[in-house]
Structures are given as C-alpha cells and as structure tokens.
C-alpha cells in the first residue's frame, strides 16, 4: 500500500487509471484493480506513458484476455429467449457455447460431468460454493448439479453460488444467467488478491489459476487458502502445458504440497485428462 499521497501523485494515478479504463483491451477490468496497479506503477515510473505500459503488462498476465470471451450481450439475449421458451436443449447448447469461448473451460468440456461428479463424491453435494477467479466456469452449473427436478435445491435449501472475477461484463453475464436459473445473483466484481472472499461455503473452487496467481501476486496463495471460510478447497492445475505439451503433474503436485505445508489438511488427488485436482479438507465449515 502506498503511504501518504500528495495531490500530484493522485492526479497521476487517476490519469493512468482513466487511460486504462478507456482502453478497448482492458477497459472491462474492475476499476479498483486498475487503480491498485496504477499506484504500484506510479512508484516506479515518472512518466504516465511508462506507467500505463507497465499496468497494461500486468493486466495482460492478470486478465489473460487471450483465453477468450463470448459475445456477452448476444449470449445473454439468447439465453433469455431460451429460458422464456423453456427450451432445455437450447439452454444446454448455449451454456456449452459460453464455456467453449474461454480456453480454461473449453479444455474441461470433455471431462466436465465426470469432473464434478468425482469432486462432489469426495466433498458431498455442496449447498454453498465459492468459485474464485471464475471466468466462465459458473456456466457449468448444469453439469455440477445434474439431478432432474429442482436441481439447485440441496438438502431443501437453495444453492448459493458465489463467483468472483475482475472482468465486469463477465460478472454481469453470470448474474444474468444465475437469475434465469432462479438463483440469487451472487457473482461479484472483486479482486481476490486485494480482498479475500469472506463468504461462508461448503466448497471453494480455485480452478487452473494458482500458477498465474503466484506469478502475479507472489506468495499470496497460502494466506488466501488459509483465509477462506469453507470446509473444502478444490484447487486444480493444468496437467499438461499449453505450449509444448510438457507433463506438469509432478511439478504441480510438489508445488501444492509445499503451498499448504504444515497445515495438516488431508488431500485427495484426482487426475483427469488435462487437469490435476486436489480436494483438500480444511475443516468444518463453522470452525
Ligand atoms: C485462467 S482464468 C480462470 C479459469 C476458471 N477458474 C476455470 O478454470 O474455468 C483466470 C480468471 O481469473 C480472473 N482473475 C485474475 N486475477 C484475479 C483477481 N486478483 N481477482 C479476481 N479474479 C481474478 C481473470 O479475470 C480470469 O477470468
């Protein structure tokens, strides 16, 4: 955090924040995130141009825009129409199309139903979930909760699905979808590196983001996991590198064990085609 800021610093930071907020590539990012990066850049650069360049470089790694996006407005509209028509096949198709638009969920499509079946076989069917750095993953709800009938009732209670990301249109889109599904709009624009999620839940998902998170924020992964108010942590890693197809399983297994070293939390490892998952029992939800 910055110490005392004089007016000149503040004007500099505001100018950098606004320039990024108006840019086509990163304008959809949460303003709080941009401002935080602008404050950090202001300490290292005297010229706004250099600071803007530095913030854009950080955002390239944090937002990973190259992983892809659907056309949010068009997709929201089509989902509204499909729900209004009670067209289940079309809803499924549109969810798949949304998931297919982002690399992380696209890679998971072939294993998706089995993925959640196996994870929830360990944790039990959750009634409250945190999906941290979610991207499009909440659109997989129908594969997480496939039971026919009122699929979002768990032990008589309506599912609470909290989702966190810093991409504003993505979060609006997810909330639109949640409401169509009859769920509360609990997705939020929140920088989880600045504010750890506080909500209580059975399961926290932190899927395929820990390596990037560590690159972007250093050693923040361990305190983040420690702070989460959940019984189960579900943390996953790509098992094969995107470039070059190297097997990353043993590297990430070592990394994961290191990250929670000393906590005495039991780990169950699940290996899927392309994704290595650790289901970690932190303790009781109300502990
Ligand atoms: C690789 S994608 C995550 C994929 C998703 N968890 C999955 O496996 O389907 C990374 C996502 O994390 C978000 N993100 C990155 N840093 C974040 C932060 N500090 N707080 C909240 N979200 C963040 C990005 O906007 C992006 O949507």
Average pLDDT over residues 262-271: 96
**What's the angle, vertex CA 201, arms to CA 166 and CA 32, rounded to 5?**
20
CA distance linking residue 208 with residue 246, whole number of Å: 16
Strand partners, 52: none
Residue 213 in tokens:
């998170």
Residue 165 CA: which ligand 1 atom is closest?
22
What pLDDT digit, counting tens, does each position of 8-26 carry? 688 999 999 999 999 999 9
What pLDDT digit, counting tens, does each position of 115-156 carry? 999 999 999 999 999 999 999 999 999 999 998 678 899 888
Strand partners, 268: 279
Indicate if the pLDDT at residue 105 is higher than 70.
yes
Kindly report the pTM of this predicted structure.
Answer: 0.95
207 CA to centre of ligand 1 in angstroms: 9
7 CA to centre of ligand 1 in angstroms: 33
What pLDDT sits at residue 286? 47
59 CA to centre of ligand 1 in angstroms: 12
Q: Which residues line ligand 1 (CB under 6 A)?
A: 62-64, 67, 104-105, 133-135, 137, 164-167, 191-193, 207-209
Residue 29 CA: which ligand 1 atom is closest?
25
Domains in the chain, CATH or no CATH each: 7-63 (1.10.8), 103-281 (3.40.50.150)
């Amino acid at each position: 955090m910055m110490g005392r800021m004089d007016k000149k610093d503040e004007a500099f930071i505001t100018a950098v924040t606004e320039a990024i907020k108006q840019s086509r590539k990163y304008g959809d990012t949460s303003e709080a995130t941009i401002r935080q990066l602008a404050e950090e850049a202001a300490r290292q650069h005297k010229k706004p141009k250099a600071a803007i360049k530095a913030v854009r470089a950080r955002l390239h790694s944090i937002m990973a825009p190259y992983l892809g996006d659907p056309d949010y407005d068009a997709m929201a509209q089509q989902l509204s129409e499909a729900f209004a028509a009670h067209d289940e096949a079309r809803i499924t198709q549109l969810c798949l199309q949304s998931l297919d638009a982002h690399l992380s969920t696209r890679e998971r499509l072939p294993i998706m139903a089995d993925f959640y079946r196996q994870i929830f076989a360990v944790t039990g069917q959750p009634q409250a979930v945190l999906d941290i750095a979610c991207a499009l993953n909440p659109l997989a709800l129908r594969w997480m909760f496939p039971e026919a009938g009122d699929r979002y009732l768990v032990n008589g209670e309506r599912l609470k699905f909290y989702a966190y990301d810093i991409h504003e249109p993505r979060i609006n889109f997810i909330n639109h979808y949640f409401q169509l599904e009859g769920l509360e709009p609990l997705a939020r624009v929140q920088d989880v590196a600045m504010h750890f999620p506080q909500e209580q839940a059975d399961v926290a998902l932190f899927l395929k983001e820990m390596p990037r998170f560590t690159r972007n924020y250093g050693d923040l992964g361990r305190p983040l996991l420690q702070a989460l108010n959940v019984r189960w942590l579900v943390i996953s890693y790509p098992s094969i590198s995107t470039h070059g197809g190297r097997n990353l399983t043993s590297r990430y297994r070592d990394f994961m064990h290191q990250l929670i070293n000393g906590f005495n939390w039991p780990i169950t490892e699940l290996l899927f085609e392309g994704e290595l998952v650790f289901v970690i029992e932190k303790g009781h939800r109300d502990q």
